[in-house]
Amino acid sequence: MGPVHTVYGPALLCAGAGCSQQFGAQPQWIWFLSSSYVGAHSTTLMPTVSKGDGMRGLAVFISDIRNCKSKEAEIKRINKELANIRSKFKGDKALDGYSKKKYVCKLLFIFLLGHDIDFGHMEAVNLLSSNKYTEKQIGYLFISVLVNSNSDLIRLINNGIKNDLASRNPTFMNLALHCIANVGSREMAEAFAFEIPSILVAGDTMDSVKQSAALCLLRLNRTSPDLVPMGEWTARVVHLLNDQHLGVVTAATSLITTLAQKSPDDFKTSISLAVARLSRIVTSASIDLQDYTYYFVAAPWLSVKLLRLLQCYPPPEDAALRSRLTECLETILNKAQEPPKSKKVQHSNAKNAVLFEAISLIIHHDSEPTLLVRACNQLGQFLQHRETNLRYLALESMCTLASSEFSHEAVKTHIDTVINALKTERDVSVRQRAVDLLYAMCDRSNAKQIVAEMLSYLETADYSIREEIVLKVAILAEKYAVDYTWYVDTILNLIRVAGDYVSEEVWYRVIQIVINRDDVQGYAAKTVFEALQAPACHENLVKVGGYILGEFGNLIAGDSRSSPLVQFSLLHSKFHLCSVPTRALLLSAYIKFINLFPEVKATIQDVLRSDSQLRNADVELQQRAVEYLKLSCIASTDILATVLEEMPPFPERESSILAKLKRKKGPGKLPDIDENRRNVNGSSEHSENTDTTNKVSYVLNLNSSPSTGPSLLVDVFSDSSTSASVDVSEDNFSRFVCKNNGVIYENQLLQIGLKSEYRQNLGRIYVFYGNKTSTQFLSFSSFVTSSDILKTHILHCLIASYPIIEGGAQVQQILNIECVSDFTDAPVLNIQFRYGGTLQNIAVKLPVMLNKFFQPTEMTSQDFFQRWKQLGAPQQEVQKIFKAQHPMDTDVTKAKILGFGVALLDGVDPNPANFVGAGVIHTKSTQVGCLLRLEPNAQAQMYRLTLRTSRESVSQRLCELLGEQF
């Protein structure tokens, strides 16, 4: 790009971000202070710097730090320097500007090494009033890094900035604007948001200042959009797109693009100016914009920004303007076909950046069939490019093109290339984009081929994308199923290949469709019966088989190979291998068999009557066995047939599989697969009548999960629940880190108390609900929920239920917990009841933390330090230094450490004021040893907590939990 006149200010900090990570690292940013650096990078806007401004004392200090052999030596040298600087600042002799600058620079360097700086701020503010560039620059640099918006000096700083903005000195104005942008606080926006626009549009403002003003305003708009005024300057800023200085145009385009997204009507006039400027760039020869040509590509950054600005608006209504824009886009596509003018990667990167942004604009407008097809063909060439990034971007852009009615057919011609990419790509992210594109290009003509390829790939797919592929296969199979026997085969094959990733929504959906279509019920029953005969069946297949055979097993009972007794024996052979929800479903299938096949009634009653059912430890299974057995014994044939009749067809709703995929991909990320593609305006036309009806049910409560509300008409296939919008109470959560008993929640109606006990990896929590009113709580229910991640780390089971709690009464529930592996989140206790006719929803975060599974370990001093050295790897240790939040009482500290779960070891630490503890975290999968050391500093009212364990995640979590207690 061309010579952008940059004033080196606070932005240079980024070059030295890593200087504090190692002792020997020479901070690159600091050398811009030397005369050689500034002289080499000066422009006409920068004052020349004399050789005397090299700050030898700073160079010596940095050299000393580099030569330190240990951290202790570095700290000693820094403390010595801090004492010297403090004495200089407090001395009677007034410091000159050079000395202030040097000492402020040293403070800034020390801060970048990771040490706190609590003085020197006033001296930095004083540097702002200097007329020397280097002194003012260091003052702004210090302020940008170390002064926060709540500082008492903010008013003085603002006055200094205002003086520099009013000085009309371009160098000083740039420094001030850089400082405003780097700080970017709300206070800065309040002070300068009205002043900067006037600088930006003023006729006598220099080009470099206009650039800085535009970017500064952009920064303030991003941090505090409500404070940036939209006034008469907005019309004038648009005309900056015509500025002769391309640096000003580039900065202005970034600002206008952001503002146009917020207020498109105010910047509509920018369309014609952007098209005109883009046309001049695209049609110009490289020598015309020689200063702004990057590897033979004319002004690529500005071109990209202009194309993005045009994406904020629909296609131009003016025919001439529209024709000119089309000509620009055609020229960009034509240039992509030309041989490269350079073999360097910078040339291809710049050229492709403009091309992809032009294709994005073509897709956004979706109104020129010729351009859309040309864009598709160009992207098709990139699908086999040797550069991985280009293949990724091509697949991503073609996903969007596939949703256009003009280019959908053109995208389909590349199906073989995309399938090959799915099979041969080494990069998982590219393979994922290939799956997205296959999903987007699917229609009735290629559905079977695409579904078959996805199923084939699923067997070897990366675990991270398997669930998403399963959802897409299920949606495509349902959407484009002409023959529903193919749909049933596809879903059963899906369960066989990737059963662990088939969510409940998928197999629920199979059952809905089978129940709603009479023509497929017999085939479904026959197919699942055959599938269940495999020696090893996934549990989801057992669920589908149990439900379908329980409903439609009679349709295949005429064959001796699938007689009623054979069907029952086949299902029951899987019973003992399944989880509790699946067993509950199978028991429901058994009672259905009694209705369908009276000849197996005695056999099934024997199963229901067995001790393993009537005395089952699980309340749900025991209750079902007792009730089904009693129902089969006392009910007449007619009553039994009425109670256990076939499920009715399900009402129409949006497919919950599609809803889940939308949630997983995020808004706007899911390609449109409707038969009617987007029309020319970019909207979607959805068919009113499709061959596939989207069904859900309120009665298929197969997994015996607790009800989420008082209504029986709940959609069990959606993730929404009555309590979804309830705020989770965490008020008393931290109080239970070091104790097990107490009140976790209380309001004017209800009090919830906990009493906990833990042993190794098992825990039991007694939950007490106290009705504080004189009125009954009706429809009282409680259940525990966990995040998807937490479910894999802890198991929990809530025992006993009380639908009514009398006024003034207290009831108890037991929650059993098993720790499978280390975790950070906590489960949530959800309570619902009716009080005075009003439904009450309460959610409380349960204090189930990792430290609850501690077993204290006694150790001698020798054993402790031997083990301490063994856990010396950097990732095994976590250290936290923090201010005391409570009075530093020795007895209270001891009690908290013991309550945390570790053994308190006396006489181990050489300093008797320190606390040392040891324990072992017990999980089902492993045991993790833990050593801790707490060092109080009563004089400074601070603690240093050090934890060492064999697992990094355990160290981090335990340090977080215990650090909050002091």
Q: Summarize the annotated binding site as residue ranges.
A: 56-57, 88, 98, 102-106
Q: Which is it for strands 903-904 and 838-845: parallel, antiparallel or unpaired?
A: unpaired
Asked if 510 contacts 532 with a C-beta cutoff of 8 angstroms, the reply is no
Q: Which is it for strands 778-785 and 810-819: parallel, antiparallel or unpaired?
A: unpaired
How open is the CA angle 801-802-803, to the nearest 5 degrees? 115
B/e letters for 207-219, b = 16+ CB within 10 Å, e = fewer, are bbbbbbbbbbbbb
Tokens linked to 674? 């409707």
* CA dist., res. 264 & res. 604, Å (int): 70
Nearest to 964 by CA among 886, 850, 909, 890: 886
* CA dist., res. 39 & res. 133, Å (int): 13
* CA dist., res. 818 & res. 853, Å (int): 9
What are the residues whose beta carbons fall under 8 Å from the beta carbon of 693, sequence distance 6 or more? Answer: 516, 652
Q: Sheet containing 828-835: give its strands across.
A: 728-729, 838-845, 828-835, 778-785
* CA dist., res. 893 & res. 887, Å (int): 10
B/e letters for 665-694, b = 16+ CB within 10 Å, e = fewer, are eeeeebbbbeeebbeeeeeeeeeeeeebbb
Nearest to 579 by CA among 547, 538, 630: 538
Other CB atoms within a 10 A radius of the CB of residue 562 amount to: 20
Asked if 831 contacts 771 with a C-beta cutoff of 8 angstroms, the reply is no
CB-based burial label for 559 (10 Å; 0-12, 13-18, 19+): exposed
Counts for the chain of helices (H) and strands (E), in that order: 39, 17
How open is the CA angle 38-43-47, to the nearest 5 degrees? 60
How open is the CA angle 302-304-309, to the nearest 5 degrees? 95
Amino acid at 448: K
* CA dist., res. 3 & res. 10, Å (int): 20
* CA dist., res. 291 & res. 833, Å (int): 73
E strand intervals along 528-666:
none
Residue tagged 């503002």 (tokens): 259
Q: Which is it for strands 778-785 and 828-835: parallel, antiparallel or unpaired?
A: antiparallel
User: What is the DSSP secondary-structure string of 825-877?
Assistant: ---EEEEEEEETTEEEEEEEE----GGGGEEE----HHHHHHHHHHT-SGGGE
Virtual torsion, Cα 402, 408, 411, 415, nearest 10 deg: 90
* CA dist., res. 246 & res. 207, Å (int): 10
